[in-house]
Amino acid sequence: MLPGPGARKEKNVDIVVLLKQVPATESLIQVADDGVSIKTEELKWVINPYDEFAVEEALRIREAQGGSVTVLSVGTDKAVEAIRTALAMGADTGVLVNDPAALGKGALATARVLAAAVKQIPFDLVIAGQRAVDADQFQVGPAVAEYLRIPNVSMVIKTELLDGSIRCHRTIEGGTVVVESPLPMLFTTQRGLNEPRYASLPGIMKAKKKPLETKTLADFGLDAGALEGPTARIRALSPPAERGGGRIIEGESAAEKAAALVKALHEEAKVI
Amino acid sequence: MDFELSMDHEILRDSVRSFAEKEIKPVAQTLDKEETFSYDTMAKMAELGLFGIFVSEEYGGQGMDYLSYIIATEEIARVDGSHAATIAAGNSLGIGPLYYYGSEEQKKKYLPKLCSGEALWAFGLTEPNAGSDAANSKTTAVLDGNEWVINGSKIFITNGSTDISAGSTVMCRTGSREDGRPELSCILVENGTPGYTAKVMHDKMMWRSSNTSELYFEDCRVPKENLLGKRGHGFYQMMETLDGGRLSIGAMGLGGAQGCLDMTVRYANEREQFGRPIATFQANAFKLADMATEIDAARLMLYRACWLRDNEKPFSKEAAMAKLYCSEVMYRCANHAVQIHGGYGLMKEYDVERFYRDQKLLDIGEGTSEVQRIVIARHIGAKCL
Ligand SMILES: Cc1cc2nc3c(=O)[nH]c(=O)nc-3n(C[C@H](O)[C@H](O)[C@H](O)COP(=O)(O)OP(=O)(O)OC[C@H]3O[C@@H](n4cnc5c(N)ncnc54)[C@H](O)[C@@H]3O)c2cc1C
């Protein structure tokens, strides 16, 4: 059962942001000795950039409407830094699910854990990144919505909060669609939604006093056995092939060069 | 020994770094070229909380330790020296003396708007004829009834003449001591006081988007209460302020050196000559390795000096060493950076060109490298004049 809307103050919007800590995109990624994972010792870890949009949108909605922002993450001790950063940006509360049994089981298992955790927090809105830039699966957000049996809108670039509902602008190929959904609901973020704020120095000091709870599966009545293993397994990882040199299209005139380019794209690259 | 930074220091570094990359880096070279102090980036730095970092919350500060301030300055300097100068001078030299020596009334009056970054405060020590020999200042302040009457001038004063400069702490001769030497005291002078003029200095080689000023005092009258701390303590206050200030100049050397290294590793891996990236030539790669090694040593030295200060241990010698060493490390790093960039490193299109120029101030400001060596030599018991 979801907490009923009666428990909430009028207009106040309680928001849960799903947040994952991922390797910074500028990190040097190397395949580990086991051939199926990456070396993590030297990596720099950051908040998944799409989740940063989620934190920012949650803060803006709270600033406009009142309410609360809870940041929820499944991860190890390391992820505390990502949550503390979100608290320094202005979120109110952090929850870290830190349980070895919850890790490495794939996107659906992660979504089950997150959904179980969200159920314990009063909420009107769940915001997640469209995908985490490490595994790029695009699954967790929509799957959490499924487990919570609430509507999901993906890849949102603009939101408008209405009375008891939310209007989301989402990108589709060649345009945008505007969808309206009743609350509670979940949406995932797309680049362009907002410009995330920086964790300010006063924010970092305030974050020291904000609650950050650590939970395990037992807190949600889940046991490790309830989470099936991943349905897909990584068999081998290899870095992408080094990019070959570019090629300059020669020609007398722009039209001639364009014709040569189209020919090459069509016949050699076979992309058009 | 614990060499790990706290999580809050890491969060602070990440946040200031992405701020600097996104808000300052794109405009730095243009501001430098046009010799413009930017009120826009100033306001953004203020909003991030980069002023009053080590000041307690009751006066509007952030209540962080000195190391936090140094890390923030380092990260700004990693993308631009001028902006780091505004912060270093704003905190160490502007806010510092008011916070440490000001009366409760003075602190309440000035600190909140300085910590919010609405206003800047300057530190007026250097005079045209008293630089390294600052004790030889000629500016005088004579008590006339309930007012000090100030005459003289100061030069090279950072943050003294912006549109938001609220005033300066000015070291003046207020009389003679029993031993015949001048009695030096610090007096607060607000911008706009009749008889006080702050004029922007132009045509600098470096820190071109930082504000540098000449201050002129002609029968400038300020209330007697504007004395900072005790009469006769001026020189001591200024020297103690410079101990802290040297850590921030060290941070500028460290951050600048790191910026040089980061830009140059990227460039050396991308730029190809003889059919391969120039980083594959050991002559270049070894320069990068030397830069990284010296930067590591500089960072340990500077953070150790901050640790001493944060733990209320003597740090004056270590601050002088860190200032000297970090400045000279950046000197070598900027030189290698331009060398590895080749002809492009001499062009304004590449940031290393600016870093090369900006570095030179670090050997001169807040006590030249020679003066640092004098301070260190005296600390270790050498009979240095
Ligand atoms: C951009 C900029 C910003 C500044 N900001 C401020 C500020 O905010 N507030 C402020 O008060 N000042 C400021 N200064 C002044 C700065 O601190 C002085 O320039 C510095 O202390 C050196 O003084 P000087 O320029 O008079 O050089 P001098 O003292 O004339 O020195 C000239 C040379 O002689 C050497 N020398 C002098 N005495 C000795 C000695 N005994 N032994 C060996 N060598 C010696 C010096 O090392 C130097 O190489 C700033 C300067 C600049 C350029």
pLDDT in tens, A12-28: 999 999 999 999 988 88
Chain B residue with minimum CA distance to A89: B15
Q: How many CB pairs under 8 A join A and B?
A: 49
For the domain spanning B236-379, the CATH number is 1.20.140.10
Rounded to an integer, the average pLDDT of B343-356 is: 97
Is residue A194 scored above 90 in pLDDT?
yes
Chain A residue with minimum CA distance to B19: A198
Distance B365 CA to ligand 1 centre (A): 6
Distance B171 CA to ligand 1 centre (A): 16
Q: What is the ipTM of this complex?
A: 0.93
Domain spans of chain B, in order of start: 7-120, 121-233, 236-379
Distance B134 CA to ligand 1 centre (A): 9
Rounded to an integer, the average pLDDT of B85-110 is: 98
Contact criterion met (CB < 8 Å) for A81 and B8: no
Give pLDDT, residue A10: 58
pTM: 0.93
Which chain B residues touch A207 with a CB distance below 8 Å?
Answer: 11
Output the average pLDDT for chain A: 91
Please, what is the Cα angle at B161 between B158 and B164, to 5 degrees? 105
Q: Which of residues 192-231 of A touch B (CB under 8 A)?
A: 198-205, 207-208
CATH number of B121-233, picked from 3.40.640.10, 2.60.120.10, 1.10.3720.10, 2.40.110.10: 2.40.110.10
Least confident of A161-175, B214-228, B260-274: A161-175
Give pLDDT, residue B24: 98
Residue in A198, A210, A243 to test binding to B, most B beta-carbons within 10 Å: A198
Domain spans of chain A, in order of start: 14-226, 245-272
Asked whether B368 lines ligand 1 (CB < 6 A), one says yes
For the domain spanning B7-120, the CATH number is 1.10.540.10
Judged by a CB distance cut-off of 8 A, whether residue A244 touches chain B is: no
Give pLDDT, residue B231: 97
Is residue A64 scored above 90 in pLDDT?
yes
Which chain A residues touch B62 with a CB distance below 8 Å?
Answer: 201-202, 205
Residue A2's pLDDT band (cuts 50, 70, 90): very low
Distance B174 CA to ligand 1 centre (A): 23
Is residue B247 scored above 90 in pLDDT?
yes
The shortest CB-CB distance from A81 to any of B7, B50, B62 is to B7
B35 is catalytic: no
Distance from CA of A207 to the nearest CA of B (A): 9
Is residue A6 scored above 50 in pLDDT?
no
Contact criterion met (CB < 8 Å) for A201 and B14: no
Each residue of B333-343: pLDDT tens digit? Answer: 999 999 999 99
Asked whether B170 lines ligand 1 (CB < 6 A), one says no
Residue A7's pLDDT band (cuts 50, 70, 90): very low
The shortest CB-CB distance from B64 to any of A46, A205, A207 is to A205
Residue A251's pLDDT band (cuts 50, 70, 90): confident
What is the percent of chain A with per-residue pLDDT over 90, rounded to a whole number?
A: 70
* Three-state DSSP class for residue A116: helix
Asked whether B320 lines ligand 1 (CB < 6 A), one says no
Each residue of A78-119: pLDDT tens digit? Answer: 999 999 999 999 999 999 999 999 988 889 999 999 999 999
Q: Which residues pair with A160 in a beta bridge?
A: A167
Is residue B363 scored above 50 in pLDDT?
yes
Give pLDDT, residue A72: 98
Each residue of B279-332: pLDDT tens digit? Answer: 999 999 999 999 999 999 999 999 999 999 999 999 999 999 999 999 999 999
- The residue that leads in pLDDT, A232 or A169, is A169
Rounded to an integer, the average pLDDT of B258-280 is: 97
Each residue of B126-183: pLDDT tens digit? Answer: 999 999 999 999 999 999 999 999 999 999 999 999 999 999 999 999 999 999 899 9
Is residue A5 scored above 60 in pLDDT?
no
Each residue of A113-169: pLDDT tens digit? Answer: 999 999 999 999 999 999 999 888 899 999 999 999 999 999 999 999 999 999 999
Residue A29's pLDDT band (cuts 50, 70, 90): confident
Asked whether B364 lines ligand 1 (CB < 6 A), one says yes
Contact criterion met (CB < 8 Å) for A201 and B53: yes
Which chain A residues touch B10 with a CB distance below 8 Å?
Answer: 81
Is residue A272 scored above 90 in pLDDT?
no
Is residue A1 scored above 80 in pLDDT?
no
Residue nearest to atom 12 of ligand 1 (CA): B126
Judged by a CB distance cut-off of 8 A, whether residue A52 touches chain B is: no
Is residue B385 scored above 90 in pLDDT?
no
Residue B106's pLDDT band (cuts 50, 70, 90): very high
**Domain A14-226, CATH class in plain words:** alpha beta
Is residue A225 scored above 90 in pLDDT?
no
Cα gap A5→B153, rounded to integer Å: 69
Give pLDDT, residue A9: 45
- The residue that leads in pLDDT, A244 or B277, is B277
Which chain A residues touch B95 with a CB distance below 8 Å?
Answer: none
